[in-house]
Amino acid sequence: LNDLDKLGLFNAYTSGDHIWDKPQIKTILQNATISLLRPLNYRAGCAGEGYKIITSGAKRLLVINLLGRVFMKNNENTSNPLLAVDDVLKKYTLNKNEEDKEKIDGILIDIHAEATAEKKVLATYLDGRVSAVIGTHTHVPTRDEQILPHGTAYITDVGMVGPFNSSLGLDFKGLIQEYLTDISQKREVGDDPRVEIGAVLIKIKKDGLAQNIKHLRELVQK
């Protein structure tokens, strides 16, 4: 454990469209000791931060949390994610030649969105300016992990961490009744002792761009 900094491990948490489901989240987001982000492009005045610089030894990673708008509920509460991330990248850069900006060792984007097209367009727009664009939200992993032409790592959806035999982590019983009756049912986490873990392993070069990306999908027992 004493060598974690040497491994370049960073500790941060991103979120998505359910961030406001519990009222106590506002207190958590205002706690500076907890590296939890809410989507950057929520309307002004929301609690918490949409990006944060995380340190590991001498290395600094900028983590940015974005929320997609296509096919997403309550998208009137969010602004354009491309323009929102542009505002942040006016301050920070991977490029040491951009002397008017603060140099960062890596920039990671979590785009929590429904539409594949929106994620891919965002990644292409940011290609070469950030280390990685990682898609989340659909809970189903995609096998399109790749390095884009200008050096940014990308995957449309990394998958989930949750019960393997479930519907997006939820127990089937209530959901089946909901689909049969069109009446909302109580939603509970599935009880399968096998936990699916979806993740990506990204190696970042000295210039802040990605050398490779590998998708990981494992089943473990609780």
What is the tens place of the pLDDT at every residue in 151-194?
999 999 999 999 999 999 999 999 999 999 999 999 999 999 99
Read off the amino acid at residue 205.
Answer: K
CB 11 within 8 A of CB 52: no
- pLDDT of 8 above 80: no
pLDDT in tens, 123-145: 999 999 999 999 999 999 999 99
- pLDDT of 9 above 80: no
Per-residue confidence band for 50, with pLDDT thresholds at 50, 70 and 90 = very high
Q: What is the average pLDDT value for the chain, to the nearest integer?
A: 94
Output the furthest CA–CA distance in the chain (Å, rounded). Answer: 61
- The sign of the CA dihedral 114, 117, 118, 122 is positive
The CA distance from 42 to 53, in Å, is 19
Per-residue confidence band for 10, with pLDDT thresholds at 50, 70 and 90 = confident
Q: Average pLDDT for residues 55-63, to the nearest whole number?
A: 92
Length of the chain: 222
Strand, coil or helix: 118 = helix
Structure tokens at 16: 């998505």
- pLDDT of 45 above 90: no
What's the number of CA atoms in the CB half-sphere (13 Å) around residue 95? 14
For residue 78, the tally of other CB atoms under 10 A from its CB is 19
The pLDDT value recorded for residue 63 is 98
- The sign of the CA dihedral 44, 45, 50, 52 is positive
Task: Give the DSSP letter of residue 40.
Answer: T
pLDDT in tens, 89-135: 999 999 999 999 999 999 999 999 999 999 999 999 999 999 999 99
Q: What amino acid positions are annotated as catalytic residues?
A: 18
Percentage, residues of the chain above pLDDT 70: 96
The pLDDT value recorded for residue 4 is 44
